[in-house]
Structures are given as structure tokens and as C-alpha cells.
């Protein structure tokens, strides 16, 4: 019999049903549903597990909580899978909290706080480009009840990949993530989701001419958002129209055009969500920062992943460095750089970053 004092884990979670909760960790080869490591339910949403004093535990204990499998693993307050929990001591009581759980492989959501998706138009006219585009709007869950309330707005590119069933390329699941933000009091943002132009996507999102791809129409596209779409949204929905409540966001080519639009129209767009921008299109974006950008009250959230391309993280770092080299005060421009050495160029990864960016940009 060992003389080691008992190590116990105490878990609290808002979820309270009949599903059992298990420990999975480096002490059980990370099996997510072993009966030996099922926790005892001791109250409403409260569980406890006592390690046997005879259990041979590693020096550093790593673990996670599951509800019977990796498709039902714990999630953090943004709906993302957290890093492994770590314990270095082998005695005493550890208190943990799990705000959300993955459900059958999907991001957690709160049904009553899901945004209401409406069609703005299936064929909204873009006079600057001589074409039309489907545009949807995601309204906060309380929009229809709080008729005196006004909301910030984020204009997002590549709507097909953002919510609902997503597309063949993937899904950010922003509708689910907004419901989790709403639970924290950070979901009061209107999302205007603009479909991309399919075969015209590259040239519409590119502000620059690229050999073999032709002349970019990004300048006209940015003008459309600022001069045509935003006035329409402000007229027909209860928005906060000022620049500090108006954002633009996207990833890859959508990240590039979002950055460009924010640089060109700082008097209208004061918040930028720029994920994995396609900086390879042209180095002129750095010139545009130094020559044309004149921030007023701007916040820029930059994200890049280490498994996208060798140039992605250095390029995004250079964006931040170029902005900071202009020596504007933080009252005029504030830049947050989020880097993930293991981040891939995927809709799923951008969705994981979305809630963190919303919280930083608007709250």
C-alpha cells in the first residue's frame, strides 16, 4: 500500500444530464471512455474523481475531460479545443471548469442565442463591378426584442464558408460561435456576409494587377462595400454607423481585400479582422500602409499560421512592423498579432480564431 496522499479532481460544468464524464490523459494512453476513469457525479453539473494512491502516475500529469469520446471533448469559452490540462503535484484537490462540450464532432452552440440569418438580397447590385451578389445578414438573437438597441457591424467575405452547412472548403461556424459569445455578453455584433464571386473571386478581392491573372478589381470592390452596401445596411438595420463600430474581415484573398479596404477607408472602417492574408499577390500593400493609411481610431487583428506557407508568418509580422514604423499613437491604431505555429490554411482554423478576434475588436 502506498503512503501517497490522494489526488482528486473536481469538475464543474453548466451541462447537467445523464451523460457520464471521463478523464483521458497520459496515465491511460488517452483513451476517452475507460470505465476506470469515469467520474462520480456528486451534484448538479458537478463531478469528482479520486486517483488511487496505488496508481502509478507520470511526473507530469496531462489530461482532458470527455463525455465518452473525442467527438464529445471539453471546449473553452470560445468553443475551441483547449490545450491539455497539466498537473505537476500528486496530492490535494484540483478544481476545474468546462464551459462547453463538443457535440458529435461539431462546435458547441446555444440554441436560444443563435443569430437570426436573413437574406438581404439574392442578387444585390454591385454597380462598381457591373454584377450582382447574394448577401445575407446574421442578426443577434435579441435583435427583434430590443427594438431600441443598435449594433456594431462586421462585413465579411466568402459568406459561403462562414455558417450553416458551410461549403466544400469548410465552415467557420460563426453562427455557433456567436451564440457562445452571446453567453458571455460579447455577441451583440451584426454580421453582413457577402458571397464571393466564384470564378471572379481572385480579381474582385485583389487590389493589384497580377501577371497571368489580369487587373485586380479590389479597389472597386472596396468602394462597393463603403459607398453602396454600408449605406444600405445602415438605412435598413439598426446599426452603429460610426467607424469604431464598423469592421471588415476575411481570410486568404478575403483577408487581403479586408486589409486593403480598411487602409483606404479608415474614416468609415475602424475594425479589421485579417486572417492569413494573401500577401504574395503584391508587396505594394506595404507601400499603401506608409503612403495612404491615415488611421483615426483603428484596431487591426492579424492572424497567421505556421503550416500555411513559409512566407505567411513573416509577411503578417511585416504588416504589423510597417504600421508601427509610422509611429502613430495607440489612440489612432492598435494592432494585435496572433500566431499559431501549427495553424493551417483552413476554414476550421479561421473559425477557431473568429471569436477571439470579435472579442478583441469590439469589446
CA distance 38 to 52: 13
Are 24 and 118 contained in the same domain?
Answer: no
pLDDT in tens, 113-157: 999 999 999 999 999 999 999 999 999 999 999 999 999 999 999
pLDDT in tens, 159-180: 999 999 888 889 999 999 999 9
The verdict on 92 and 145 lying in the same domain is no
Q: What is the pLDDT of residue 148?
A: 95
User: Which of 89, 123, 116 lies closest to 5 in space, CA to CA?
Assistant: 89
Instruction: Give the rounded percent of residues in the chain with a pLDDT score beyond 70.
Output: 99
pLDDT at residue 1 in the model: 47
Structure confidence at residue 142 (pLDDT): 96
SS3 186: coil
Residue 106 maps to a domain: no
Most confident of 59-63, 123-127, 210-214: 123-127
Do 97 and 195 sit in the same domain of this protein? no
What is the model's pLDDT at position 104? 86
Whether residues 252 and 305 fall in one domain: yes
16: in domain: yes
| DSSP structure class, residue 252 | T
Domain boundary residue, one of 47, 69, 101: 101
For the chain, give the percent of residues with pLDDT over 90: 90
Same domain, residue pair 63 and 28: yes
**49/125 same-domain check:** no
Q: What is the pLDDT of residue 53?
A: 84
pLDDT of residue 55: 82
In this structure, the answer to whether residues 346 and 200 fall within a common structural domain is yes
250: Cβ–Cβ under 8 A, 6 or more apart, which residues? Answer: 156, 157, 158, 205, 256, 257, 258, 273, 274, 275
Question: Do the domain assignments include residue 2?
Answer: no
Question: Are 124 and 85 contained in the same domain?
Answer: no
- 322 by DSSP, 3-state: which? helix
What's the number of domains the chain is made of?
Answer: 2
Last residue of one domain, picked from the residues 101, 121, 146: 101
32 and 87 share one domain: yes
**Is the same domain home to 89 and 139?**
no
Which range of residues forms the domain containing residue 262?
111-362
pLDDT of residue 5: 65
* 204 and 335 share one domain: yes
pLDDT number for residue 106? 84
Residue partners of 199: CB distance under 8 A and separation at least 6? none
Would you state the pLDDT for residue 4? 56
311 domain residue, yes or no: yes
pLDDT at 2: 53
Same domain, 43 and 191: no
For the entire predicted model, the pTM comes to 0.92
Which CATH number covers residue 282? 3.40.50.1820
DSSP string, 211-248: TTTB---HHHHHHIIIIIIHHHHHHHS-B--SGGGEEE
SS3 127: coil
CATH number at 25 reads 2.60.40.10
Amino acid at each position: 500500500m502506498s503512503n501517497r496522499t490522494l489526488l482528486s479532481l473536481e469538475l464543474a460544468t453548466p451541462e447537467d444530464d445523464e451523460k457520464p464524464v471521463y478523464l483521458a490523459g497520459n496515465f491511460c494512453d488517452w483513451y476517452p471512455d475507460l470505465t476506470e476513469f469515469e467520474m462520480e457525479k456528486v451534484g448538479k453539473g458537478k463531478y469528482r474523481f479520486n486517483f488511487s494512491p496505488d496508481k502509478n502516475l507520470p511526473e507530469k500529469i496531462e489530461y482532458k475531460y470527455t463525455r465518452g469520446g473525442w467527438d464529445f471533448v471539453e471546449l473553452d469559452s470560445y468553443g475551441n479545443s483547449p490545450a491539455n490540462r497539466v498537473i505537476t503535484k500528486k496530492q490535494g484537490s484540483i478544481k476545474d471548469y468546462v464551459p462547453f462540450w463538443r457535440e458529435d464532432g461539431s462546435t458547441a452552440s446555444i440554441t436560444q442565442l443563435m443569430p437570426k440569418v436573413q437574406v438581404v438580397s439574392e442578387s444585390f447590385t454591385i454597380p462598381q463591378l457591373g454584377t450582382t451578389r447574394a448577401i445575407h445578414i446574421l442578426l443577434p438573437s435579441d435583435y427583434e426584442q430590443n427594438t431600441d438597441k443598435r449594433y456594431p457591424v462586421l462585413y465579411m467575405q466568402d459568406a459561403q464558408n462562414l455558417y450553416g452547412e458551410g461549403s466544400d472548403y469548410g465552415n467557420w461556424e460563426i453562427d455557433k460561435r456567436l451564440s457562445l459569445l452571446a453567453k458571455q455578453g460579447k455577441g451583440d455584433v451584426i454580421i453582413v456576409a457577402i458571397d464571393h464571386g466564384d470564378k471572379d473571386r481572385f480579381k474582385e478581392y485583389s487590389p493589384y494587377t497580377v501577371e497571368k491573372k489580369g487587373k485586380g478589381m479590389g479597389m472597386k470592390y472596396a468602394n462597393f462595400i463603403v459607398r453602396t452596401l454600408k449605406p444600405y445596411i445602415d438605412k435598413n438595420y439598426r446599426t452603429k454607423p460610426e467607424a469604431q463600430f464598423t469592421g471588415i474581415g476575411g481570410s486568404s484573398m478575403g483577408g487581403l481585400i479586408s486589409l486593403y479596404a480598411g487602409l483606404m477607408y479608415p474614416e468609415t472602417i475602424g475594425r479589421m479582422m485579417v486572417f492569413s492574408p494573401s500577401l504574395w499577390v503584391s508587396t505594394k500593400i506595404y507601400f499603401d500602409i506608409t503612403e495612404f493609411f491615415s488611421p483615426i481610431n483603428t484596431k487591426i487583428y492579424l492572424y497567421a499560421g505556421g503550416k500555411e506557407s513559409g512566407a505567411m508568418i513573416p509577411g503578417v509580422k511585416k504588416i504589423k512592423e510597417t504600421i508601427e514604423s509610422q509611429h502613430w499613437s495607440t489612440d489612432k491604431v492598435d494592432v494585435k498579432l496572433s500566431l499559431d505555429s501549427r495553424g493551417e490554411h483552413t476554414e476550421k482554423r479561421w473559425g477557431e480564431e473568429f471569436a477571439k478576434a470579435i472579442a478583441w475588436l469590439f469589446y
